Amino acid sequence: MQEFGSPDTLARISSECAHADSVELKTLLLPPAGRAAEVLTGRGAPTWSVRQVYLLDTDALDLVRAGVEIRLRRRARGRFDLAVSAHRSGITCDRIPPRGVRVEIDVVPGAIWQDVEVRREVDSAAAAEVIAGVVKSGEVLSATQRAWACRGGDEVVDDALLWDLKVHGPLVVRRVKVSAAALGVRRADLEHFRFPSGRELVEVSTRCSPEEVGATATAFERLLDERGVAVAPGYRTKTSMWREEIGVSRGR
């Protein structure tokens, strides 16, 4: 059985994270994704939704090294959104985030961090031009997003870098909804991430409010245990995979 934090840690999240909009509990599963989907949903060949995510960064990943990610996401029906995220270890709110920011506490087996994100919708034509390299990335970032990209991470980023970022990807994301209300989980999502090189991650997650984290963690652990899914040892972030992905590409 996976354990998502000690009782004391979960109690701290519940009592000290009123600044957070949500908590996401997640763990990696062993591929293949199709088998995991059948086990979790109880259906043969369930229908997956598909989207693409592009990482906007320099060739050397200067933003990622500074603790910031800029992601351009193609969603259903050709819609796009753009997110600038800063990652913080622990659960303490150590600085005032900009207006319109979304704060999420990420809880995985053995680790907890905060994802502090400024997201907005992007015109599909403008997004397509950024992907094609016709329009510079800085033109689709709002003033708030540019400021957060420069100062939201662990290190200050030069604003000049934001105007000529490279488009890395796409990361292809397939998602299927998992229903487990009888076990106390209102909704869980199984996601299959495939990187351009073909490397993949399979992740299952659920969200709740900070106040509900204790009960939700227990229910989520029960879901994984009773459905008998093959849980991967340890946890790897998509950011760490991007580092390896782009490092390998540069080394060719």
Residue 245 has pLDDT above 80, yes or no: yes
Architecture of domain 7-251: Beta Barrel (2.40)
Is the pTM value of this prediction over 0.85? yes
Q: How confident is the model at residue 249 (pLDDT cuts 50, 70, 90)?
A: low
Calpha distance 246→252 (Å, rounded):
10
For the record, the structure tokens of 100 come out as: 């319109």
49-84 pLDDT, tens digit per residue, is 999 999 999 999 999 999 999 999 999 888 999 999
Query: 14, 217 in Cβ contact below 8 A?
Result: no
Per-residue pLDDT averaged across 127-144, rounded? 93
Taken in order 57, 61, 66, 68, the sign of the CA dihedral is: positive
27-50 pLDDT, tens digit per residue, is 999 999 999 999 999 888 899 999
198: CB partners within 8 A, 6+ apart? none
Calpha distance 241→21 (Å, rounded):
26
Give the pLDDT confidence score for residue 3 in this predicted structure: 75
